[in-house]
Amino acid sequence: MKTRNLLVISAMAATFSFAAEEAEGPNAVESCQTAIDNAAKNIPANATSAKYTLAAAKANLIDLDAAYNDDAESDQTKALAAKCDTYAKTIAAQAETQKVRNSTAEKWEKRAATARSIEAIQEQINKARTGKVNDLEAEKAKMKDQEARLQAEMQQNQEKFQAEAAAQEAALKAANQREADLQKALAEERAKAEARQQEAMNKLNELQSQMIQVTKSARGIILSMSDILFAVNKADLKADLKTSLAKVAGILSVYQQFNVSIEGNTDNTGSEEHNMKLSQQRADNVKAFLVEQGIAAERLTAKGLGMTMPVADNSTKEGRQKNRRVDLVIQDKALQQEAK
């Protein structure tokens, strides 16, 4: 009897949950997709900057989709959604700017056509003066009347053009200001990402030892772990390495914006096939341990490089020891997108 009651309650809860989901509006990913699609519709064919921004917006949409599927309410999901809105506004501003430029060019062409028409009429007047006197007077009167009408039309068109040009100039200035504001927002976001990465670097420096080296490069923060932290010629992680990796996982849990590339490396002793396999196994084991510590697998990539990326001379014992290592390359996602 109790079991049947539980089944009935579960079914009712599922029904209410389904009804609630149907009542919800579009999620962050759908809203982002709609904003990008709407912005893309109005991009002129010659708006190159808007097309570049559209490509960056689509890349951001992929990251947003992944973050949303992982945790729809996370700070990362909200930040990527906000960035999507910024991209959509930037695309719209750049498209509007190009439309203004196209319209201005079209107005100038109309003005030039009017000027050519007046020149042609003036040429006809000059030719008429060489004709017969009686016909000349009549032709001159006709030409004068026509010239006066054209001059009046030109004056009217010029005034209209100047008014339109002033309006277009104001619109262009406003569009440029909007684009500058959006670029400033992107720059501020990059500065925040760099600050986060420097803050994490300061914390990771606490792991610095003879077995773990912490450096910074254009690729991001690099933790180089000596092969002393692994079993000899094996991929098993020693206790000291697990302790250090647990601390790294704690830092990565705080900085959800960071991705990590795990790269296994060896020296040139042994066969290429053996070294490639060993380096891949070590990288995979480090990744598996970080996942066990609660780091999302989507934030981690593991690859074995074998003997292909030495940092020292393999002809010496010291050089070979430096080359036998596993590197953790840590970088903020915002900086990764700019690098792409």
Q: Left if phi > 0, otherwise alpha if psi is -120 to 50, otherwise beta: which for 306?
A: left
Confidence of residue 125 (pLDDT cuts 50, 70, 90): low
Residue range 112-132: mean pLDDT, rounded = 76
The gap between the terminal CA atoms of the chain, to the nearest Å, is: 61
The set of residues, in sequence order, having a beta carbon less than 8 Å from that of 18 and lying 6+ positions away, is none
b/e per residue, 235-246, with b = 16+ CB within 10 A? bebeeebeebbe
pLDDT at residue 189 is higher than 90 = no
| Distances, alpha carbon 25 to alpha carbons 29, 37, 57, 82, 265, in Å | 11, 18, 22, 17, 49
8-state DSSP, 217:
E
Which tokens is 176 given? 């440029």
Cα separation, 285 vs 328, whole angstroms: 13
What's phi and psi for 214, nearest 5 deg? -110, 120
Query: What pLDDT, on the 0 to 100 scale, is given for residue 139?
Result: 80
Residue range 222-249: mean pLDDT, rounded = 89
- 3-state percent helix, strand, coil for the chain, nearest multiple of 5: 70, 10, 15
Q: Report yes or no: 331 and 258 within 8 Å, Cβ to Cβ.
A: yes
Q: Report yes or no: 28 and 64 within 8 Å, Cβ to Cβ.
A: yes
Confidence of residue 128 (pLDDT cuts 50, 70, 90): low
Cα separation, 91 vs 39, whole angstroms: 6
Residue range 250-259: mean pLDDT, rounded = 93
Residue range 300-309: mean pLDDT, rounded = 96
- Between 117 and 305, the higher pLDDT residue: 305
Residue range 226-243: mean pLDDT, rounded = 88
Strand 300-304 and strand 220-226: the pairing is unpaired
Query: What pLDDT, on the 0 to 100 scale, is given for residue 309?
Result: 94
- Is 221 strand, coil or helix? strand
Q: Report yes or no: 184 and 293 within 8 Å, Cβ to Cβ.
A: no
pLDDT in tens, 19-60: 334 446 799 899 999 999 998 988 999 989 989 999 999 999
Most confident of 32-36, 184-188, 211-215, 335-339: 32-36
Q: What angle do CA 167, 172, 178 make, to 5 degrees?
A: 130
pLDDT at residue 180 is higher than 60 = yes
The set of residues, in sequence order, having a beta carbon less than 8 Å from that of 275 and lying 6+ positions away, is 266, 267, 268, 306, 307
The residues that bridge with 273 in the sheet, in sequence order, are none
For the chain, the C-alpha Rg in angstroms (whole number) is 34
Query: What pLDDT, on the 0 to 100 scale, is given for residue 5?
Result: 45
What's phi and psi for 261, nearest 5 deg? -105, 120
Query: What pLDDT, on the 0 to 100 scale, is given for residue 153?
Result: 87
Q: Report yes or no: 269 and 312 within 8 Å, Cβ to Cβ.
A: no
Which tokens is 50 given? 């808007």
For residue 328, the surrounding DSSP H or E stretch is strand 325-332
Query: What pLDDT, on the 0 to 100 scale, is given for residue 9?
Result: 39
Most confident of 25-29, 149-153, 279-283: 279-283
Which tokens is 67 given? 């973050």
Query: What pTM, to 2 d.p., does this model score?
Result: 0.48
